[in-house]
Amino acid sequence: MRVKLLTTISIFTYQLSVSQTEKLLNGKVLAQNIPLNKVEVINKTAKTSTRTNELGEFSILVRPQDSLLFYSKDYFFKRFKISQENIDQNNMVVNMILKPEELNEVVITKVEFDKVKISADDVADVLISKNAKDLFWNTGVNDNTIREALRVSFPLKGRQKKTIEVADDRFKKLIIAYCPPDFFIKNLKIKSEEKELFIDFCDSDPKSKTLLENPNVLTIMDFLYTKNEEFKKLE
């Protein structure tokens, strides 16, 4: 009986140790069915990384529950928590989404003109001139008035260029550029109506300004997860 018990414990211990041993995970990274080259594949848990080849293929050592990041500057990053099923299948396919093209910053200016000032005398002169012209053209008779005597002045001052101050939204643009559209709802579990409030909450932290100086996908993600925990405590 004791021998059977020891044998069972040994088998269980062996299976547990095997399940915790790193396994080589193979996969491919695509965008619209096109293989992506030089995509960074980062095992955030084990602190290791690799890159995809020309065929979009990669191989990296993983354990169950490891966190994998897929990063390319022109695409939204992807994050996956590795399951035992992923390891057993050993054929992971990752589809990345291309970031929308960013436009250069637009400076809005406002140009103001003075209103055109026309006096009552000016209006009367226009009517007289018009009647005189009609008489001359219709009858050929000159009534000795000065035709085309429109004396309307259009005083215009110099253009006044007024620059509208634009709020500092660099952090918001950074987050939008690095995070996929469903990241806040799917990964951070934030309600869609609270997304803007959460971004403002993060932006108010002085550390958000340091992220602007040296953007890094791992640093940004760690910052967002940390702020997410603080944000939930406010509720």
pLDDT at residue 120, as a whole number: 60
pLDDT at residue 68, as a whole number: 93
pLDDT at residue 8, as a whole number: 53
pLDDT at residue 153, as a whole number: 47
Indicate the CATH number for domain 2-95.
Answer: 2.60.40.10
pLDDT at residue 212, as a whole number: 84
77 SS3 class: strand
Among 210, 216, 205, residue whose Cα is nearest residue 177:
216
**Tokens 């018009």 sit on residue:** 130
Tokens of 185: 């709802």
Residue ranges, CATH 2.60.40.10, the chain: 2-95
Among 228, 183, 189, 211, residue whose Cα is nearest residue 75:
183
pLDDT at residue 181, as a whole number: 79
- List, run by run, the mean pLDDT of 10-residue segments along the chain (235 residues): 52 50 94 94 93 95 94 90 93 91 56 59 62 54 50 51 64 85 86 87 88 84 88 77
pLDDT at residue 143, as a whole number: 53
pLDDT at residue 179, as a whole number: 86
pLDDT at residue 193, as a whole number: 86
**How far is the C-alpha of 77 from the C-alpha of 96, rounded, in Å?**
7
